[in-house]
Amino acid sequence: MLVLFALPVESLRGKQSASNPHHCEKRGNKERQLWRFTMALKTPLCDLLACEYPIMNAPMRDLGGPRLAAAVSNAGGFGVIQKQYDTPELFREHVKQTKALTERPFGASFLLSFPYEELLQVCFDEGVPYVSFYWGDIPPVIIERCHQHGVKVGQQVGTVADAVECKEAGVDIIIAQGEEAGGHVIGNVSTMVLVPAVVEAVKPVPVLAAGGIADARGVVAALALGAQGVVLGTRFLATPESDAHDLYKEKLLSASELDTHKSLLWGAAWPDAPHRVLRTGFVEAHSGTEEEGQKPAPPDAPTIGTRIVGGVKKEIKPFQGYTVDQTVEGEMDKLCYFAGQSVGMINELKPAGDIVRELVDGARRLIHGELLAFVP
């Protein structure tokens, strides 16, 4: 009965916040705190990462840089950069840029298949409080070094067995990535099944859910599955702050839930690593020939495009899966557009901060409204 009575009050609060999510920023400290209180979506992970909301952007290489990470952190989420193709100097510049854009904590992410040790040192130097890893086993000495520097360690996995190994290795946060996720996808199990299984297997280690989440419904579903937070990739790609090419963003907005494909096609620079991409005409035309792309581009391979890294123009060869950021030019139809199945739910570009606030507000309203009404 008490719960029923409380319902309209909460719903109202939710609606007020939703109608003007920016309003608080013009208010005084006290009112701001009140708004923050009514907007809370807090799990133990928030304390671990010192953020307000357990909402993270996925590492997306050159598609998500300082602007995106800072926008996510500034809104109370937790931003992550992944600039692993750069030199340590360039990486340090990206970290500094992010720090210049936000006073809040953010993280960095590294692929274990490529060099990262020098970049990790930059994280230590610059006080980045969280680093996550993917695609391989983190050497124990690396975890130890992170912990010595007070840095929390995350790892993304696609199986329960790998999650258990992470727990045993001392990983602080485990990201369970469902097969519906965009970009490189290490597993074959859906978010709906993987998350509760991983949560059960590694408790009390906190688990983040990744894959198929693009709105408040997905956030609450992930929490129901036992996750302490969420990682969104495709949703944060369709923002003004992401560094995805405009053409890429247009493609995201027009794609349906059927328009992705888990492929090996772009394997020239990273072989045998399945990745979910938009099912473009190029992808369809190369269906069944994916094995060919699993070796480095031959020296005489044509240049199909260029990208700019640290002010330097670099060539793109066929089936090199470089991210199509704003600096890319060339035969755009032959390039690789990473996206998750949740792309079908994304119909407009939206500032990253608005996304965070809408997820939090929507999750609150969903739990206090619809869900509670089902279990009076």
CB of 103 to a second copy, least distance (A): 25
Instruction: Name which of 6 and 100 has its Cβ closer to a second copy.
Output: 6
**CB 133 to a second copy: min, Å:** 21
What are the residue ranges of helices labelled H in 170-322?
191-202, 216-224, 234-237, 246-254, 281-285
CB 143 within 8 A of CB 169: yes
Task: In angstroms, give the least distance from the CB of 176 to a second copy.
Answer: 11
The verdict on whether omega for the bond into residue 204 sits within 30 degrees of 0, i.e. cis, is yes
Whole-number Å distance between alpha carbons of 133 and 137: 9
Residue 207 DSSP SS3? strand
Of the candidates 87, 73, 375, 371, which has an alpha carbon nearest to the alpha carbon of residue 241? Answer: 73
* Residue placing its CB nearer to a second copy in the complex, 9 or 50: 9
* 235 touches 355 (CB < 8 A): yes
For residue 79, list its beta bridge partners: 106
Shortest approach of a second copy to residue 358 CB, angstroms? 14
Nearer Cβ to a second copy (87/188): 188
The residue to which tokens 């949703």 are assigned: 235
Comparing CB distances to a second copy, the nearer of 102 and 190 is 190
Structure tokens at 144: 């130890």
CB of 77 to a second copy, least distance (A): 15
Q: Closer to a second copy at the Cβ: 32 or 262?
A: 262
| Residues of this chain that bind a second copy (CB under 8 A) | 2-3, 5-6, 9-10, 40-43, 159-161, 178-180, 188-194, 196-197, 200, 211-213, 215, 217-218, 220-226, 256-258, 340-342, 344-345, 363-364, 366-368, 370-372, 374-376
Other C-beta atoms lying within 10 Å of the C-beta of residue 91: 25
